[in-house]
Amino acid sequence: MVDYVGVERVRELVGRLGPARFMRELAAEIEADFGRWESFDKSARHAVHSPVGVIELMPISDGRLYSFKYVNGHPSNTAEGLLTVTAFGVLAEVATGYPLLLAELTLTTALRTAAMSALAARRMARPDSRCMALIGNGAQSEFQAIAFHDQLGIRELRLFDVDAGATAKLQRNLAGMDLEGLTVIACRSTAEAVSGADIVTTVTADKRNATILTAGMIEAGMHLNGVGGDCPGKTELEREILLRPDTRVVVEYAPQSRIEGEVQQVPADFPVIEFSELVAGRATARRSDAEVTLFDSVGFALEDFSALRYLHRLNGAQPGPRGGIDLIPELANPKDLYGLLRPGLAVRKVAA
pLDDT tens per residue across span 216-226: 999 999 999 99
Question: What pLDDT, on a 0 to 100 scale, did the predictor assign at position 64?
Answer: 98
Question: What pLDDT, on a 0 to 100 scale, did the predictor assign at position 351?
Answer: 47
Where do the domains of the chain lie, and which CATH numbers do they carry?
A: 2-107+302-341 (3.30.1780.10), 125-299 (3.40.50.720)
* Average pLDDT of the segment spanning 180-188: 97
* Average pLDDT of the segment spanning 181-187: 98
Q: Which residue has the higher pLDDT, 108 or 341?
A: 108
Rounded to two decimals, the pTM is 0.94
Residues with Cβ < 8 Å from 247, sequence gap 6 or more?
218, 241, 291, 292, 293, 294
Residue 352 confidence class, pLDDT cut points 50, 70, 90: very low
The active-site residue out of 230, 246, 289, 336 is 230
Residue 347 confidence class, pLDDT cut points 50, 70, 90: low
Q: How far apart are CA 262 and CA 160, in angstroms?
A: 21
The DSSP secondary-structure symbol of 197 reads -
Question: What pLDDT, on a 0 to 100 scale, did the predictor assign at position 88?
Answer: 98
Which helix (H) or strand (E) covers residue 235, if one does? Answer: strand 235-237
Pairing of strands 156-160, 209-213: unpaired
* Average pLDDT of the segment spanning 28-52: 96
163 is catalytic: no
* Average pLDDT of the segment spanning 7-15: 96
Question: What pLDDT, on a 0 to 100 scale, did the predictor assign at position 22?
Answer: 98
Determine how many CB atoms are found less than 10 A away from the CB of residue 351. 4
Question: What pLDDT, on a 0 to 100 scale, did the predictor assign at position 129?
Answer: 98
* Average pLDDT of the segment spanning 312-324: 88
Q: In Å, how far from its chain's centre is CA 246?
A: 27
Residue 346 confidence class, pLDDT cut points 50, 70, 90: low
% of the chain exceeding 90 in pLDDT = 86
